[in-house]
Structure 1
Amino acid sequence: MAEQSQGSNTDTDRLQREITELQRLDQLPFASSAFGYIKRTGPGLLQSAMTLGAGSAAASVIAGASFGYKLLWVQPVAMFLGVMMLGALSNVVLTTGERPYKSFGREIGKWLVILWALGTIMASVIWHFPQYGLAASAARDLGNLQGVISVPVEVTEANTLLAAAEKTKDKPQINQAKANLNQVKKDTTLLGLGYTNSGLMLSFGVGILILCINIVATFNYGGDSRGVRIYEWFLRGCIALVIVMFGIVVVAKFDVVRAEFGEICKGLFGWYGIPNLWNLDGTLNNSTVTQVLGMLGAAVGINMTFLYPYSLLKKGWGKHHKKLARWDLGMTMFLPFVMVTSLVIIAMKVGGVYSGADVVNTTMQPLEAAGVLSGVLGDNMGRIVFNLGLIGMTCGAISTHMVVCGFTFCEMLGLEQTKSRFRLFSLTPAIGILGVIASLPMWFPVAASAVCFTMLPIAYLAFLIMNNKRSYIGDAVGHGFSRLVFNVILVIALAVATIGSGIKIYSNVVKKILPAKEVTATALVLPTSLDVQE
């Protein structure tokens, strides 16, 4: 008990010193205070690592391969709207210091927060699988470069035939190609999984390695303030690795980047809007619209909205940390996300993947992009670097899924968050390691999609209401023109999230439940990348 009291006093003293320093920084000019704020950031790192996963990689690859630089503006706009919504949430939490599961349940409704927590857990488990799947794919590709055959030639040929069939959009031909691929896998590989023994060893090897690294990192977060700092530096390392890896690919083609710098700027500032928006017959191009709206509505996931306020409270932040929280969201969430997704899109263009057709390429996957970039740095170095970047993205996302489950279960069950409980519950999504060789049964993603994508706009609406509830947060609701502008942005974010979630529910739930003939009249062609989270 004495040790616990001593630790508590130490944390209190540290927080008091931090508040004093923040008050000093508030009085300094922007340039002089910037480093002091950046040095103290942290919670935004978790959000950045969570969203920079398999989904962001796939969405960026498809955007770059399909439209070159022309959609560079989409993900920065999407993340800006997400950051604004999390900014509203931080204003509520830092003003009151209350745990949001309890306060939101009391102020808005108990069933709302139960669904919020349930959606968070389901999202963290289901989106754990594709992280391991992407990491294993990258590892197998690296194995192939070293002469370790992880995919039989027959399976590779059958996959090539399937990709060609998918480009024709001829369903009988696609179904035949899929049946042929399944038969080839059954005839040539162990358990019909499509990998040689070396491929299976590589898949489980990288999966176990990543799981062990993330257990150590996550368990640190479940400890004291020193453990939290260690975990934050782990995330900084993951994000830095990702930026460096993708940055190397872009810098290797610096002559192209320099020559096309004007086009890059046009893409970032939305000069081209949404390219190929209309079909020749004057109707909307559903695949293009769906790609853009899906990207806009998917930058922030439901589990991120639950994790963020608890990461603020875990750091001991309060009303004196509001300005720091804004810096945190901007510098460690918005900026890394924009840098990584932009670098991937630019790499697709400078690497020669973009064909110039401005048509959504639903067959391009991150691993294929790595193969295409094999010659960027000479020999296969570009391919190696790109694969390492993909593995870095998945590693950070996996750890944050584990952290959010540790928080969420304690809140749902009404348990005090102890070190042992947090660590136990954080292991919940570890079953996702099976994603190195398999995907979930179809019914589970359908059920999870129905809950998660429905809950995101509902959670956004709750944040909007709570941030304007004067009876709860008092004068922290803001005033004047700035409050009006902020609320307009929140309403836009809510609308975009609602539209994006509607598209995802249609694709992941409606189209998989209803017979095909009932939805063909209004069918939207969704990129496969939108089936997984950031």
Structure 2
Amino acid sequence: MFGFFKKTGPGTLVAAAFIGPGTVTVCTLAGVGFGYALLWAMALSVTATVVLQEMAARIGIITGMGLAEVIKAQLRHRFLKIPVIVLVFSAVVIGNAAYEAGNLSGASLGMAGVFPEELIRFYPLLTGMVAFVLLYAGSYKVLERCMTVMVLVMSLSFICAAVMTGPDMGEVLQGLFIPQVPEGSILTIIGLIGTTVVPYNLFLHASLVRERWSGAGDLKAARKDTLLFVLLGGLVSTAIIITAAGNGLTGVENVMDMAKGLEPVYGRFAVYFIGTGLFAAGITSSITAPLAAAYVANGCFGWNASLKDTRFRLVWMIVIGTGVLFASAGFNPIELILFAQVANGILLPVVALFLWWAVNRTGVLGRYKNTLVQNLLSGGIILVTVILGIRSILKVLGWGE
């Protein structure tokens, strides 16, 4: 067990970031609304995540800089650099401040499923305090170990819940390998991609690999770490869809409705499994979202700050504080979370294009830049995200299906 902990790296935080309340919510809605039909979209999302996160990690290891710093350094024209840096800062730092409300709300829902529901108004503050303490400690190793434990807890929780439903494996395999787009499912598909291929994770990963590794000799270890934990995260997301599809619900007002749907057959254990998993998902994302925002601000402003730097801490404090404020204000958590995931799906093509541009520049990666095969694979993924993003905008405007 201790050997496993020694081999883990930033992949644990990447998985912890994308298996948040948004993942639980969107996967639940996918399972309840469309059964196993959208499992292929999750498989596509996991593949895309592995490819894009590997590129982000490669940039961090080879250049010794974060993605925001690389973009800033490579954009030499002032009239192009300033708008791009403003866009990146706004999308990640300001966006994560709003996204944090969904993380804290999700963790609170999980706590309410296990602990007294009457105290739910205090749970966002309690969750925010836990995130504050872990980030204020300013130790990358502490964060990594805590995230590893929480990822394993949520994995066990949701996989056990999926097994409880006794799914038809033939239908599961059909959903995984035969793409279907049921009527009214396009925004859910975009949500599944947006909650898995998280734009801010690309910035977070490029920055975190510098805390763990340095130099081209560590690329193999970084790739293994990325593959292991992204696949584990994908397994968790798949388990949530299977659980939601197999519990017989026709609608959900609250993520914990999924647990309540299983309770008549499997007893209180179902609520404990899903409640614990949802809390773990919420608390991990409540830590990684502010951390990513601080790293992006660090790169955009050229601070070169450490985890204990006052400016670095101030950014994540603002993100957590904003999240606690909105999560405690009585907004519907499921609406906050779903909105954030669709927004992520629209933002992803923009961030992915910047990443693709950077990873193909000889001045950035030298001989470690993308190969033809890597470009074909990543280019296809980005093209899909662009098409889905456009369809999402048309759908919101009422011009889509």
* TM-score interval (norm. to shorter): 0.7 to 0.9
From the superposition, tell whether residues 274 and 343 of structure 1 become closer, same or farther in structure 2 (CA, over 3 Å). Answer: same
Q: Tell me the distance in 1 between the aligned counterparts of 2:227 and 2:392.
A: 27
- Residue by residue over 1:502-527, the C-alpha shift from the partner in whole angstroms, topping out at 9 and shown as x without a partner, is 344456xx64xxxxxxx4xx255xxx
CA contact (8 A) 2:158 2:274 kept: yes
Secondary structure, in 3 states, of the residue corresponding to 1:366? coil
CA contact (8 A) 1:53 1:396 kept: yes
Shift of 1:486: 1.4
From the superposition, tell whether residues 261 and 92 of structure 1 become closer, same or farther in structure 2 (CA, over 3 Å). Answer: same
Is 1:476 aligned to 2:373, yes or no?
Answer: no
Among residues 9, 17, 42, which one is paired with 1:50 in the alignment? 17
Give the match for residue 141 of structure 2. 229
CA contact (8 A) 2:56 2:67 kept: no
- Residue by residue over 1:41-86, the C-alpha shift from the partner in whole angstroms, topping out at 9 and shown as x without a partner, is 3212222111111211111111211232232221121121122122
Q: TM-score normalized by structure 2? A: 0.86
CA contact (8 A) 1:239 1:392 kept: yes
Is 1:116 aligned to 2:84, yes or no?
Answer: no
Q: Tell me the distance in 2 between the aligned counterparts of 1:454 and 1:409.
A: 22
Pairs within 5 Å for 1:139-218: 139-142=111-114, 199=118, 202-218=119-135
Secondary structure, in 3 states, of the residue corresponding to 2:197? coil
Give the match for residue 348 of structure 1. 244
Q: TM-score normalized by structure 1? A: 0.66
Pairs within 5 Å for 1:521-532: 522-524=399-401
Structure 2 counterpart of 1:288, one-letter code: S
From the superposition, tell whether residues 343 and 130 of structure 1 become closer, same or farther in structure 2 (CA, over 3 Å). Answer: same
Shift of 1:400: 0.4
Give the match for residue 432 of structure 1. 323
Pairs within 5 Å for 1:305-320: 305-320=202-217
From the superposition, tell whether residues 502 and 54 of structure 1 become closer, same or farther in structure 2 (CA, over 3 Å). Answer: farther
Secondary structure, in 3 states, of the residue corresponding to 2:185? helix
Structure 1 counterpart of 2:170, one-letter code: G
Among residues 175, 180, 186, which one is paired with 1:267 in the alignment? 175
Deviates more, 1:132-141 or 1:111-120: 132-141
CA contact (8 A) 1:454 1:501 kept: yes
Shift of 1:39: 4.0
Is 1:79 aligned to 2:46, yes or no?
Answer: yes
Shift of 1:484: 2.3
Structure 2 counterpart of 1:244, one-letter code: L
Secondary structure, in 3 states, of the residue corresponding to 1:106? helix
From the superposition, tell whether residues 302 and 205 of structure 1 become closer, same or farther in structure 2 (CA, over 3 Å). Answer: same
Count residues in correspondence.
387
Pairs within 5 Å for 1:401-412: 401-412=289-300
Among residues 8, 20, 27, which one is paired with 1:60 in the alignment? 27
Higher Rg: 1
Give the match for residue 295 of structure 1. 192
Give the match for residue 73 of structure 2. 106
Secondary structure, in 3 states, of the residue corresponding to 2:36? helix
Shift of 1:142: 4.2
Is 1:89 aligned to 2:89, yes or no?
Answer: no
CA contact (8 A) 1:63 1:71 kept: yes
Q: Tell me the distance in 2 between the aligned counterparts of 1:293 and 1:420.
A: 37
From the superposition, tell whether residues 406 and 398 of structure 1 become closer, same or farther in structure 2 (CA, over 3 Å). Answer: same
Q: Tell me the distance in 2 between the aligned counterparts of 1:488 and 1:313.
A: 27
Instruction: Extract unaligned runs of 5+ from structure 2.
Output: none
Shift of 1:326: 0.9
- Percent identity between matched residues is 20
Among residues 83, 98, 101, which one is paired with 1:129 in the alignment? 101
- Residue by residue over 1:15-49, the C-alpha shift from the partner in whole angstroms, topping out at 9 and shown as x without a partner, is xxxxxxxxxxxxxxxxxxxx989842321222211
Deviates more, 1:296-305 or 1:40-49: 296-305
- Residue by residue over 1:135-161, the C-alpha shift from the partner in whole angstroms, topping out at 9 and shown as x without a partner, is 333434445xxxx6x5xxxxxxxxxxx
Secondary structure, in 3 states, of the residue corresponding to 2:8? coil
- Residue by residue over 1:454-473, the C-alpha shift from the partner in whole angstroms, topping out at 9 and shown as x without a partner, is 65322211222222222442
Q: Tell me the distance in 2 between the aligned counterparts of 1:246 and 1:455.
A: 28
Shift of 1:368: 1.7
Give the match for residue 235 of structure 2. 339
Secondary structure, in 3 states, of the residue corresponding to 1:73? helix
From the superposition, tell whether residues 117 and 320 of structure 1 become closer, same or farther in structure 2 (CA, over 3 Å). Answer: farther
Give the match for residue 222 of structure 2. 325
Question: Pairwise CA RMSD of aligned residues?
Answer: 3.0
Shift of 1:374: 1.4
Instruction: Extract unaligned runs of 5+ from structure 1.
Output: 1-34, 151-198, 277-284, 356-360, 512-518, 525-534
CA contact (8 A) 2:56 2:203 kept: no
Secondary structure, in 3 states, of the residue corresponding to 2:323? helix
- Residue by residue over 1:384-409, the C-alpha shift from the partner in whole angstroms, topping out at 9 and shown as x without a partner, is 32122111110100010121122223
Deviates more, 1:133-142 or 1:45-54: 133-142
Q: Tell me the distance in 2 between the aligned counterparts of 1:238 and 1:231.
A: 11
Among residues 313, 322, 326, which one is paired with 1:423 in the alignment? 313
Q: Tell me the distance in 2 between the aligned counterparts of 1:382 and 1:63.
A: 19
Q: Tell me the distance in 2 between the aligned counterparts of 1:75 and 1:453.
A: 13
Give the match for residue 370 of structure 1. 259
